[in-house]
Amino acid sequence: MTHIKYLVAAVMLAGANIAGAEDGAAILQGQCASCHNLTGPAPATLQELWNRKGPDLFYAGLKYKAAWMEVWLQKPERIRPAGMFYPDHVKSDAEGGDEIDDSTLVAHPALPAPEAKAVTAALMELKGKAELVTAGAYTPGTLSRSSGEMLFDKFKGCLACHEIEPGYGGLSGPEVYTAGQRLQEDWLASYLRDPHAWDPKVFMPNKHINETDTRKFIDYFHLLSEEGAK
């Protein structure tokens, strides 16, 4: 009796063996394309930016780390504290400041492990705008947490839009304390140099960051991730 149970289980496992990029591409088309741009181009007008429902994924294979992606897709947690388009998800609090209106934010769909693996494989093949990335552009350095913070907060004003730990920092951009785990270094180097080359209408200003500071920012993101804020 028991061996039949094992046999049935083995056959079921084989049937559920979705792991290839091809199966992942089908899932992307069927379940994800309504919110995510898989082919480009990025929004070219403010209206298009406002209508964007989820981050562009047509360069996912250059931007995200596969190991992070596979885990996140199974248990998605919010990365942008106030959603994709900040003004849609804040209300004024009693003191006249901004407060996130949680009731307007919906949970992201989660995938079972085999599908997350297949989708990750498919996303890693999407490499739009590859000409903007130089392989090996980032070389690791050493940086103290306080110099990173000075640069991020005082000198370049990044803290106004990004959280460096849960609950500390601006709310209109993605949290950066998980950026070290999430994002590929060579993509980051390119994005920090010129965010609008990737996303012409994004509210992230081009701060004309030089090569040295770019490396420092990426080192800083690594430090924040290692501290395991999440």
Contacting positions for ligand HEC (CB under 6 A): 27-28, 31-32, 34-36, 53-55, 69, 73, 78-80, 84, 108-109, 111, 119, 156-158, 160-162, 172-174, 176, 179, 188, 191-192, 202-205, 207, 209, 217
Computed on alpha carbons and rounded to an integer, the radius of gyration of the chain in Å comes to 20
Task: Give pairs for 96-102: CB < 8 Å, separation 24+.
Answer: 98/171, 100/171
Amino acid at 80: R
Q: How far is CA 175 from the centre of its chain?
A: 9
The single-letter code of the amino acid at 190 is S
CB of 136 to ligand HEC, least distance (A): 19
Q: Whose Cβ is closer to ligand HEC: residue 5's or residue 191's?
A: 191
Minimum CB distance to ligand HEC, residue 32 (Å): 3
User: Smaller CB distance to ligand HEC: residue 4 or 106?
Assistant: 106
Pick the closest to residue 224 from 173, 170, 174, 163 (CA basis): 163
Give the residue from 206, 229, 81, 195 showing the smallest Cα distance to 156.
206
Tokens of 184: 């590929």
- The nearer residue to ligand HEC, 8 or 127, going by C-beta atoms, is 127
| CA 31/CA 29 separation, integer angstroms | 6
CA angle 95-177-147, nearest 5°? 95
Measured from the CB atom, is 18 or 176 closer to ligand HEC? 176
Which one, 11 or 130, has the nearer CB to ligand HEC?
130
Report in angstroms how near the CB of residue 118 gets to ligand HEC at its nearest.
10
CB 223 within 8 A of CB 148: yes
Tokens of 50: 């406002």
Nearer to ligand HEC, 91 or 205 (CB): 205
Shortest separation between residue 151's beta carbon and ligand HEC, angstroms: 8
Instruction: Please report how close the Cβ of residue 73 comes to ligand HEC at its closest, in angstroms.
Output: 6
As measured in angstroms, the least distance from the Cβ of 90 to ligand HEC is 14
Length of the chain: 230
